[in-house]
């Protein structure tokens, strides 16, 4: 079973391989498997952006492309948070993703309880997920959590809690791209955003 921290993956890709953002997550999950492994499912965790129409449109198009594959999308919240600079006195609203870490942790543990997987692939570098990884290894000695770090998202505490880890490289990303145009089940055509 593959668990994908959508924002963590996105910002890792943007920082290193921005031309690979049109990523077919289901295909990536298949490309990560060893020959003896079977893909049970992919859960993609994200939040819908707001207050930025161009970003909202790009994200909607990308999610529509993802929905042409068998993965499951689990949403958190995206909310505005007031931010204040003590030095200059300027204030502004920052956007913040909420609930994704909790959603990932709950799904990984509940899927372990239901014996849905032997090995979990976690695509994230977020140290908030360390307690969930440790809990799975403590109570389910027959299960392993392997961490695939997005580019520029390597984290020592996450690495130390996992049963194995590696950094997602350009080769796997390039091999897992959607075609330029994706056709939905209803026949609607989604084209890769020109800014991607």
What's the pLDDT tens digit per position in 84-120? 677 887 765 565 666 899 999 999 999 999 999 999 9
Query: 123-132 pLDDT, tens per residue?
Result: 999 999 999 9
- Decide: 26 and 69 in contact? Cβ < 8 Å: yes
> Could you tell me the two tokens for 108?
């990984």
How many Å separate Cα 39 from the centre of its chain? 16
Q: Give residue-wise pLDDT tens across range 12-63.
A: 999 999 999 999 999 999 999 999 999 999 999 999 988 888 889 999 999 9
The reported pLDDT for the residue numbered 94 is 61
Please report the pLDDT score of residue 50 as a whole number. 82
In this prediction, residue 3 carries a pLDDT of 98
Mean of pLDDT over the chain: 92
Fold of 2-191: Rossmann fold (3.40.50)
Q: Name 95's Cβ contacts closer than 8 Å, sequence gap at least 6.
A: 49, 50, 51, 52, 78, 79, 80, 81
- Per-position DSSP letters for 16-47, written without gaps between them: H-GGG-SB-HHHHHHHH--TT-----EEEEE-
Can you give the pLDDT at residue 92? 55
What whole-number distance in Å separates Cα of residue 62 and Cα of residue 60? Answer: 5
pLDDT of res. 133 = 98
Predicted pLDDT at 80: 59
The predicted pLDDT at position 193 comes to 82
CB contact at 8 A, 134 and 125: no
8 with 124: CB under 8 angstroms? Answer: yes
75 contact partners, CB below 8 Å, separation of at least 6:
45, 46, 47, 48
pLDDT at 194 over 90: no
């Amino acid at each position: 079973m593959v668990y994908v921290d959508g924002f963590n993956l996105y910002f890792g890709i943007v920082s290193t391989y921005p031309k690979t953002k049109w990523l077919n997550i289901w295909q990536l999950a298949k490309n990560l498997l060893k020959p003896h492994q079977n893909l049970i499912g992919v859960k993609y965790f994200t939040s819908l952006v707001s207050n930025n129409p161009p970003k909202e449109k790009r994200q909607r198009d990308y999610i529509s492309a993802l929905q042409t594959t068998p993965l499951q999308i689990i949403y958190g919240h995206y909310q505005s948070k007031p931010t204040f600079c003590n030095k200059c006195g300027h204030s502004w609203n920052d956007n913040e993703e909420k609930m994704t870490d909790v959603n990932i942790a709950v799904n990984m543990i509940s899927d372990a309880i239901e014996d849905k997987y032997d090995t979990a692939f976690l695509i994230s570098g977020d140290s908030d997920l360390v307690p969930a990884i440790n809990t799975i290894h403590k109570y389910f000695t027959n299960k392993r959590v392997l961490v695939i770090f997005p580019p520029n998202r390597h984290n020592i505490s996450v690495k130390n809690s996992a049963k194995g880890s590696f950094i997602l490289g350009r080769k796997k990303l390039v091999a897992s791209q959607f075609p330029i145009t994706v056709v939905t089940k209803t026949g609607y055509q989604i084209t890769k955003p020109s800014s991607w």
